[in-house]
Amino acid sequence: MLEVKLSHSQKSSFVWKLIVYGSILSIALTLKFGIEYLGIVCTAVVGIFTIVWHNVVSRRTTTIGLLTTQITDKDLSDTLRKFYSIIDEGEKLVIYAIDWNEENGSNSIPKPEKSDDELKNGERTILKVLNYYEFVSGGIREGAFDYKIFHRLYRSNIIKIWTACKPFVSELRRQAAEENNISQDKICYFQEIETLAKEFVEHKLKCKI
């Protein structure tokens, strides 16, 4: 079966075009078959618009709640603070994904001067951030969260996070592929945030000044 994938902006545009074309078609049918159909047509159009608008408002409210949580949730805000302190220091996050107790092909990178506890804590912090934004990215793709709001407010953050984490994730995928004796491109770790970051790179913010 043919599957057509639409971007978030295309989906939004498609819904509104459906409403407009549906309204035009309804008016045309009313003119053709008589005024007695006008009440039914108007009810149908208003019903469709109400459902769509309710979904838009609900999605925006949920998104604002999600963004507020990043400020009010102490555990999450502390995790994000630790994460940004790591990447702002210019450290390569891949060092937190490598198992330094085993010899493997990825150890061309010199072992950092960090204790095992520091490496493990750094790994936990990175995974917490990735898991959180993987959930958010999946919610955006499924329409649970508002794409436009998140794009406007968090575009640069998502791109920054994925750019920093990509080597870390690549190492996790390499390890999983090696353990399962399969191709690395079949490992889908954190594909939602990767897809969203790539889409954000392509869809730049429009300056309204």
pLDDT tens for 105-124 read: 455 777 788 888 999 999 99
| Whole-angstrom distance, CA of residue 122 vs CA of residue 201 | 27
- CA angle, residues 144, 195, 200, in degrees to nearest 5: 85
**175 lies in which domain range?**
73-209
Number of domain units in the chain: 2
| Whole-angstrom distance, CA of residue 62 vs CA of residue 147 | 12
pTM for the full predicted model: 0.70
Say which residue the tokens 């159009």 belong to: 45
3 occurs within a structural domain? no
For residue 125 the two structure tokens come to 């912090």
> 168-193 as b/e, with b when 16 or more CB fall inside 10 Å?
bbbbbbbbeeeeeeeeeeebeebebb
- Same domain (yes/no): 66, 77: no
- Same domain (yes/no): 66, 90: no
Q: Provide the pLDDT confidence category of residue 149 given band limits of 50, 70 and 90.
A: confident
Whether 206 and 154 have beta carbons less than 8 Å apart is answered as no
pLDDT tens for 167-203 read: 999 999 999 999 889 988 888 999 999 999 999 999 8
- Same domain (yes/no): 83, 18: no
Q: 16 in helix, strand or coil?
A: helix
1 occurs within a structural domain? no
127 occurs within a structural domain? yes
- Same domain (yes/no): 102, 118: yes
For residue 93 the two structure tokens come to 């996050």
- Same domain (yes/no): 36, 102: no
- Same domain (yes/no): 106, 185: yes
Q: Provide the pLDDT confidence category of residue 40 given band limits of 50, 70 and 90.
A: low
- Same domain (yes/no): 93, 151: yes
| Residue at which a domain ends, from 49, 71, 93 | 71
DSSP 143: T
- CA angle, residues 92, 183, 96, in degrees to nearest 5: 20
The set of residues, in sequence order, having a beta carbon less than 8 Å from that of 31 and lying 6+ positions away, is none
